[in-house]
Amino acid sequence: MRKHIVAGNWKMNTTVPEGVELAKAVVAKSAEVPADVKLIIATPFTHLYPVNEVVKGSAVGLSAENCADKEKGAYTGEVSVSMLTSTGCEYTILGHSERRQYYGETDEKLVEKTRLAIAAGLQVILCVGENLDEREAGKHFEVVGAQTRNVLGNFTAEDMAKIIIAYEPVWAIGTGKTATADQAEEIHAYIRGILKDMFGAQVADDTTILYGGSCKPSNAGELFAKPDIDGGLIGGAALKAEDFIGIALSF
Ligand code: PEP
């Protein structure tokens, strides 16, 4: 059975002490959230170890925002999957549009990163989504379909138990412009159809597909009411514990 998940992506925000305080506030409020909604916070690498000290033993999961596409060695500045698991972190976001856009993340690199992450026992939150030009040109299905197939075509039905998909239209990220619930649902249903083609009906039904892009307490309820939207990947609103928890209470 797929899960309801609300995952916060802190991006490059907060110092370590600020992040620890935010994590404490999320853990304190997490008791309000029904047990069938999984909360995850994705923090900068520097925060993972101290934030894990805060979340361990609670219902809040911990995620990285990226990982290296190499196992170990002379790759200055990179952070490997074994470094991530050694902090206590259990998930990593991969393929966020900001990494694709600013850091040259390709589908090929994402295959390597996903392979390493799964082998290390991490769960992957794999992001896909079209930009504004692609949406306006009516190419959103094509773009999202290609991103999904290019990466997942290298994995098995068994691997899919470790993969969560996040559909994030780039034009809705940090812009205050949310995709309507109907716009989001039609892409989510399309992605689920691709999963059915690739891996069969069971995997398609069991895979969690999150929506991301200016999701907040005021619009989360309408989005989460859609049959193929299983939760959210939250940027800006994840930096306030009250808003983040408010979103999780929207199911
Ligand atoms: C994100 O970056 O994953 C995101 C969804 O950001 P925001 O909620 O701020 O649009």
**CA atoms of 60 and 51, how far apart (whole Å):** 11
**Which member of 65, 134, 168, 185 is catalytic?**
168
- Span 107-118, average pLDDT: 98
Maximum Cα interatomic distance, the chain, rounded to a whole number of Å: 47
Amino acid letter, 190: Y
The answer to whether residue 4 is catalytic is no
97 C-alpha to center of ligand 1: Å?
A: 10
Residue 169 has pLDDT above 90, yes or no: yes
pLDDT band at 72 (very low <50, low <70, confident <90, very high): very high
Q: Please give the angle made by the CA atoms of 251, 131 and 134, to the nearest 5 degrees.
A: 120
236 C-alpha to center of ligand 1: Å?
A: 6
Q: What stretch of H or E contains 198?
A: helix 181-199
User: What pTM does this model have?
Assistant: 0.98
pLDDT band at 1 (very low <50, low <70, confident <90, very high): confident
Mean pLDDT, the chain, whole residue set: 97
